[in-house]
Chains A and B, each alone.
Chain A
Amino acid sequence: MKMNRRQVLGLTAGIALVSATGTRFAFADAPATEKMIMDFAGGKMPATGKITLTAPEIAENGNTVPISVAVESAMTDGDMVQSVLILAEGNPNPDVATFHFTALSGTAAATTRMRLAKTQNVIAIAKMADGSVFMDKKEVKVTIGGCGG
């Protein structure tokens, strides 16, 4: 069975299907994003849960869009978030940022402001110290302003 991007990036549906059938994972329309996720995840398929990406449903201006990520973790040796990769699949280059956390972070949560070239999915992938990988995504609609926008 061939997956399309919507199914795979649709995560809840996509991942359940992938794990159930072991189907080869492919981003038909976003090979660059797929490669980045796979490189970051060390070839593992990201699971849902643990990570929450917060982004506005509608961005007033794509040049400055506030986003936050939070990963459930005790941030101790046994349960540690190493890093979180943020991608924007519809930007000229999907990379946005990679956050690196430590035990001193206390919690794996961070907020920044990013640029979005158009309406698209923003993706956050958390890599845990034990190698497990979790992912969340949010669609952000980028509006075209009326005035000087």
Chain B
Amino acid sequence: MAAKPKPRIKVPKEAKIGELVTIKTLISHEMESGQRKDKEGNLIPRKIINKFACDFNGAPVFSCDIDPAISANPYFEFSAKLTESGAFTFTWTDDDGSVYTDEQKITVS
């Protein structure tokens, strides 16, 4: 049994107002597609992260609806342009209803 999905996030600690900031996220997850069969020939049920979202101080920055064609250990890289300091929240939603979250603060000046 795989360990509990664990996110990794890369966000700069500081940014200038209006600067384009690159955000990278990765989470450990097998992303079982529902297309594979086990050794006995039975279909292995789908279990994927189906949604990822990044908010800043409560406002949406970027989100993604995810289908089984996204690779294991889903990776997302995107940008943000900020005018104030605050915190990013990151949320991954699993097919089984579990939600994995993380938070990163950034100082914008």
For the complex, count residues of A whose C-beta is within 8 A of B. Answer: 30
Q: Measured between alpha carbons, how far is A69 from B33 in the docked complex, in Å?
A: 23
Q: A100-B62, A104-B60 are contacts. A112–B77 as well, Cβ < 8 Å?
A: yes
Point out the residues of chain B lying under 8 angstroms from A31, CB to CB.
Answer: none
Cβ contact of A111, chosen from B61, B67, B77, B80, cutoff 8 A:
B77
B62 x A110 contact (CB < 8 A)? yes
B76 x A112 contact (CB < 8 A)? yes
Q: Measured between alpha carbons, how far is A38 from B47 in the docked complex, in Å?
A: 28
Q: Measured between alpha carbons, how far is A65 from B87 in the docked complex, in Å?
A: 31
Residue of A nearest to B82 (CB): A104
Contact with A along B64-78 (1 / 0, CB 8 A): 111111111011111
Point out the residues of chain B lying under 8 angstroms from A111, CB to CB.
Answer: 75-78
- Considering only residues 62-101 of chain B, those with a C-beta below 8 Å from chain A are 62-72, 74-82
Q: How far is the CB of B77 from chain A (nearest CB, A)?
A: 4
* B35: interface (CB < 8 Å): yes
A96 x B69 contact (CB < 8 A)? yes
* B3: interface (CB < 8 Å): no
Point out the residues of chain A lying under 8 angstroms from B80, CB to CB.
Answer: 104-106
Residue of A nearest to B56 (CB): A104
Contact with B along A66-93 (1 / 0, CB 8 A): 0010000001000000000000100111
The contact size tier of chain B is 20 to 34
Residue of A nearest to B18 (CB): A106
Q: Measured between alpha carbons, how far is A114 from B48 in the docked complex, in Å?
A: 13
Cβ contact of A98, chosen from B61, B65, B72, B77, cutoff 8 A:
B65
* A99: interface (CB < 8 Å): yes
* A48: interface (CB < 8 Å): no
* A50: interface (CB < 8 Å): no
Q: Which of A91, A102, A111 has the most CB of B within 10 A?
A: A102
Residues of A within 8 A of B (CB): 63-65, 68, 75, 88, 91-93, 95-107, 109-116
Interface contacts beyond A100-B65, A102-B62, A109-B79: sample of 18 additional A-B pairs, CB < 8 Å, sorted by A: A97-B66, A97-B70, A98-B64, A98-B65, A99-B62, A100-B62, A104-B81, A104-B82, A105-B81, A106-B80, A109-B78, A110-B64, A111-B75, A111-B76, A111-B77, A112-B77, A113-B71, A115-B69
